[in-house]
Amino acid sequence: MLRWFQALMPREEAFFDLFEAHSRTLCAGARALRDLLQSGGDEVPTHCADISRHETDADEITREVLLAVRRTFITPFDRADIRDLITSMDDAIDQMHKTAKAITLFEQRSFEPHMATLGEVIVKTADLTAEAVPLLRALRANATRLNAITEEVTRLEEDSDQLYDKGMAALYHGPARTDPMAFIVGSEIYDHLEKVVDRFEDVANRISGVLIEHL
């Protein structure tokens, strides 16, 4: 009877499988956003649709994690930490989706160089997150690498702040001189892009918190 009951309950390993599946949507969304910013032109709607699709997939995975938290007796780490981690991961791809929606709203088809560079930073933070998530299966054994990853994400977030400032200055001294609307639209897109990196830093902070509690 006990064996039958246990078979119905989610396994601890299922959480890690779901975290890793979500991290793959983050990487896919980040690459679609980077490609959008680099290519521009007629490919923009296609990339925006890709980001939307990845965001929908991520939402479904998030729901599965939150359901599993309620159904599982023994979790790999604190339930609140699990909820906070998956929520922060989902916030990252939600922010990518908000960026794509803003680009669609303003019908943008070309992007400033610093925007494309921010797209590269977003891919790097997504890849670091995807590297970190599987390491959560063995926190103590992987503590050194996890700490290094979270520190690198923090460094990239600082880089994104500088890129944001440089991009805004370039807008002001460039397109905004002849087209004030270009500054409004450009600053909106820069703000969204910088927030994507902020959300990845939130994920890194959640991982750091889990490490602190379990070491």
Cα–Cα distance, 163 to 114 (Å, whole number): 6
Cα–Cα distance, 190 to 176 (Å, whole number): 14
| pLDDT of 91 | 98
Place of tokens 């909106």: 188
Structure token digits, residue 213? 């509690």
Q: Residue-wise over 129-152: b if at least 16 C-beta within 10 A, else e?
A: bbebbebbbebeebeeebeebbeb
- Cβ–Cβ < 8 Å for 93, 58: yes
| Domains of the chain, first to last | 11-208 (1.20.58.220)
Q: Model's pTM, two decimal places?
A: 0.93
Cα–Cα distance, 7 to 132 (Å, whole number): 29
- Cβ–Cβ < 8 Å for 162, 63: no
| pLDDT of 12 | 64
Angle, vertex CA 82, rays to CA 79 and CA 83, nearest 5: 90
Give the burial class of 127: count Cβ atoms within 10 A of its Cβ; 0-12 exposed, 13-18 middle, 19 or more buried.
Answer: middle
- Mean pLDDT, each 10-residue run in order, the chain (215 residues): 41 85 98 97 97 98 95 87 97 98 97 97 98 96 97 98 97 88 95 98 97 86
3-state secondary structure of 52: helix
In the chain, what is the greatest distance between 2 CA atoms, to the nearest angstrom?
76
CB neighbour list of residue 80: distance below 8 Å, 6 or more residues apart: none
Cα–Cα distance, 193 to 115 (Å, whole number): 8
| pLDDT of 5 | 35
Neighbours of 33 (CB within 10 A): 30
3-state secondary structure of 40: coil
